[in-house]
Structure 1
Amino acid sequence: MLLKLGGLFFLVSVVFWLWAIFDSLTCDDKRVRNLPRWGWVVVILVFLEFGALAWVIFGRPRGGQLAARGSKTQPPRSGPVGPDDDPDFLRNIKGP
């Protein structure tokens, strides 16, 4: 049983380490905290799981910054989009 759990913990730690490397490589340079991005990659590669954990705690962009990482913000729409949303159009429609 202990051998099976050891293998599971090993697999989870390797997946976590690979995710941290990928995440640090693809993160925007301007949002990385405390070290430059290349510095975090070196820390993760040298210190393995401890480096990956340090990346998550000290280097990864915070929650609000993560949402804006991959999305482009769109300005709010100033007017109606379609005729169904236009109050003037709806007023001019004659019923049966």
Structure 2
Amino acid sequence: MGKVIGAIALLAFSIYCVVDAVQTDDDQIRGLPKPLWLVMILLFPLVGGAAWLIAGRPVSILETLLGPRQPRVERGPMGPDDDPDFLKGL
């Protein structure tokens, strides 16, 4: 019984990933071209589907769950000895 449920879950996951990949615009897909993503999802259902959700979708499933990645903000000097303009004046 567990094998049947696992097979049905894998089939549903694969179908979801294929439909999601087909409906996504070509210019929004990340990483690989759409036909390669579809081949990967169909040949390797678990790994290909997971790769699609993480690396192929316009918005990664990780970004959906954890929130968008914050851009790295460059900080200014922390103290006078880190400030090149201050050090030039010495």
TM-score band, normalised by the shorter chain?
A: 0.5 to 0.7
Q: What CA distance in whole angstroms lies between the structure 1 residues aligned with 2:2 and 2:44?
A: 23
Q: What CA distance in whole angstroms lies between the structure 2 residues aligned with 1:17 and 1:60?
A: 14
- Counting aligned pairs with the same residue, the percent is 32
| Cα RMSD (Å) | 1.3
Could you tell me which of 34, 39, 43 is aligned with 1:42?
A: 39
Work out the number of aligned pairs and report it.
60
Could you tell me which of 15, 19, 25 is aligned with 2:16?
A: 19
**Equivalent position of 1:32 in the other structure:** 29
Unpaired segments of 5 or more residues in structure 1? 64-96
Unpaired segments of 5 or more residues in structure 2? 61-90
Question: TM-score if structure 1 supplies the norm length?
Answer: 0.57
Q: Runs in 1 of length 4+ with deviation above 2 angstroms? A: none
Question: TM-score if structure 2 supplies the norm length?
Answer: 0.61
